[in-house]
């Protein structure tokens, strides 16, 4: 799990949300906070976001799953949604793979920024959803 230490801390997040089959275009601003769960086997990720005027809060826990031999994430939000993802960090490349959404991003050389694109699965297949930029606070 030590390779995931790059996340630890607070990040200021901004994004452009594209219109999709499921939602209209808007903007995103958020604070993302990552911290170790005691024992350093899992990371807790808390999100306080604003999509336009709508507030959204969520919590995510990720760590290594010995049964599947993958790094997995479980996310829960204030609207009652729950999702499971596979998370992959190779060098500076960060991927999140889910059944209905996925993310592909890259950390800056010094690890103080992460930029990438969320995609959502709609009626016409995968569509660009949110272009994100996270900067270490």
CATH of the domain at 40: 2.40.128.20
Would you list the DSSP string of 15-68? EEEPP-SS---EEEEEEEEEEEPTTSSEEEEEEEEEETTEEEEEEEEEEEETTT
What value does the mean pLDDT of the chain take? 96
Residue 30 confidence (pLDDT): 98
pLDDT in tens, 29-68: 999 999 999 999 999 999 999 999 999 999 999 999 999 9
Burial category of 97 from C-beta neighbours within 10 Å (exposed 0-12, middle 13-18, buried 19 and up)? middle
- Residue 123: pLDDT above 90? no
User: Does position 23 have pLDDT exceeding 90, yes or no?
Assistant: no
Q: What's residue 51's pLDDT? A: 96
Residue 46: domain span: 2-136
3-class SS of residue 3 = helix
Is residue 113 within 8 Å of 133, Cβ to Cβ?
Answer: yes
Number of domains, the chain = 1
- Confidence category of residue 8, pLDDT binned at 50, 70, 90: very high
Residue 81's pLDDT is what?
95
């Amino acid at each position: 799990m030590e390779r995931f230490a790059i996340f630890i801390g607070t990040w200021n997040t901004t994004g452009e949300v594209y219109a999709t089959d499921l939602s209209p275009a808007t903007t995103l601003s958020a604070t993302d906070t990552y911290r170790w769960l005691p024992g350093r086997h899992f990371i807790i990720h808390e999100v306080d976001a604003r999509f336009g005027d709508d507030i959204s809060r969520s919590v995510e826990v990720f760590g290594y799953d010995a049964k599947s031999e993958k790094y997995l994430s479980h996310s829960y939000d204030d609207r009652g949604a729950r999702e499971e993802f596979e998370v992959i960090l190779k060098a500076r490349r960060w991927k999140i793979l889910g059944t209905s959404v996925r993310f592909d991003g890259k950390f800056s050389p010094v690890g103080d920024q992460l930029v990438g694109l969320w995609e959502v699965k709609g009626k016409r297949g995968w569509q660009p959803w949110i272009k994100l930029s996270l900067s270490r606070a």
